[in-house]
Amino acid sequence: MIEQPMNLSEVFKQSHLDRQLPAIAEKVQNRERITEAEGLLLFEKGDLGFVGSLANYIAGYQHHNKVYFNRNFHIEPTNVCVFTCNFCSYSRQYKHRDDGWEMGMEQMLDIVRKYDGQPVTEVHIVGGVHPKMNLEFFCELISKIKAHRPDLHIKGFTAVELDYMIRKAKLSIEDGMQRLKDAGLQSLPGGGAEIFHPDVRNIICADKVDGTGWLHIHETAHNLGMHSNATMLYGHIEKYEHRIDHMSRLRQLQDKTGGFNCFIPLKFRNKGNDMSHIAESTIVEDLRLYAISRIFMDNFKNLKAYWPMLGRQTAQLTLSFGVNDLDGTIDDTTKIYSMAGSEEQSPSMSTEDLCDMIHAVGRIPVERGTLYNEIKVYSEMEAVN
């Protein structure tokens, strides 16, 4: 069970913390929003125990003991990409496409058919930005998936992929997104956000859609009634103030539209890319970031730890630092992190594995749909199937 101190600010007043930190604890206790300056202070001075207690307190009253997961699989149409993000270990340039993969329509539909009769609820479609896979091609893919399996929620395409395919089709973002929605697209994943601030973005991924463009695409999706996720790639060259700037811009858009389902911090992995000389963040820093995200992003109900990238043990630890979602069972259909050096070389977890991992830390596993509708609550004694 999550223990909730009777009065957090009293606890922290007695500790040997920076004098400004107890005021933040008091705000958390009163369920008030913290400012950007306070968020920065947490990054600079909040030790793991402090930020962890606050995050756990918030997750406690928001989610009681529940931890969500979903049953999903990925389709990664290609890793050929016109962009050259320095942190990417996954993509291949078009001229080297023989080293990568390019799936045809039937090949992708075969992946969907493989799950016939299985209780998956979501397909996550994401990949490189291939110069020859256009809007029409993806609209056809989506409508064929929907025709075959109407119950499957289609979450697809990062704002980076969308920006490219819609611009190439010479449509406005609004019209392009409407076409995809009409074809059956239901939500957007959170990728491509990286770090919005241009001082960082211009170094790590200068040639793709900028932060303002990313936010515009998500705002457009929300205005069309679609939901989306938001990510932040952390632990490379960014400074704490860039993280706060990024999180603050997401928080503002969420105030405006309410369309984000969850926030997903993505830990930079350094194998096989042009930023391999940068050391990866420590687990303590990872956990501090999850906790501060939970405290700062007060209008994001769900905080997701993506276990294929973090590794399952660290992902399990995040459950004590504000996280309430572990993404999905996934199968082994994603390569983006195994190619960047994640411990999870062939990530797949059965529902039973996920439930065991959640039960082991005293939480209650709940299978959810993409929009966080509860599908099944797994009590400890119940057989998993």
The alpha carbon of residue 218 and the mean position of all alpha carbons in its chain are separated, in whole angstroms, by 14
User: Which residue type, as a one-letter code, is found at position 227?
Assistant: H
Contact 129, 98 (CB under 8 A): no
Among 200, 209, 233, 297, binds ligand V47 (CB under 6 A): 233
Pairing of strands 364-368, 374-377: antiparallel
DSSP tally for the chain: helices H, then strands E: 15, 11
Among 46, 190, 211, 213, binds ligand V47 (CB under 6 A): 190
**3-state SS of 41-53?**
HHHHHCCHHHHHH
By CB under 6 A, residue 208 contacts ligand SF4 = yes
Identify what 235 binds: ligand SF4, ligand V47, none; CB under 5 to 8 Å per kind.
none
Binding mask 77-96 for ligand SF4 (x = CB under 6 A): ----x-x-x--x-xx-----
Residue type, 51: V
Q: Tokens 């572990």 map to which residue?
A: 326
130 binding ligand SF4? (CB under 6 A): no
DSSP 171-197: --HHHHHHHHHHHT--EE--TT-S--S
- Using rule CB under 6 A, residue 205 touches ligand V47: no
Should residue 128 be labelled a site residue for ligand SF4 when binding is judged by CB under 6 A?
Answer: yes
> Based on the number of CB atoms within 10 Å of its own CB, is 267 exposed (0-12), middle (13-18) or buried (19 or more)?
buried
- Is position 88 an interface residue for ligand V47 (rule: CB under 6 A)? yes
Binding mask 142-171 for ligand SF4 (x = CB under 6 A): ------------------x-----------
Site for ligand V47 contains 310 (CB under 6 A): no
Which residue from 43, 73, 87, 157 is in contact with ligand V47, where contact means CB under 6 A?
A: 87
Mark 326-365 with x for binding to ligand SF4 (rule: CB under 6 A) and - for no binding: ----------------------------------------
Q: What is the three-class DSSP state of 378?
A: coil
Q: How many residues does the chain have?
A: 385
Contact 236, 204 (CB under 8 A): yes
Q: Which positions touch ligand SF4 (CB under 6 A)?
A: 81, 83, 85, 88, 90-91, 128-129, 160, 205, 208
Residues lying near ligand V47 in the complex (CB under 6 A)? 87-89, 158, 189-192, 194, 229, 231, 233, 264, 266, 268-269, 273, 306, 309, 327, 336, 340
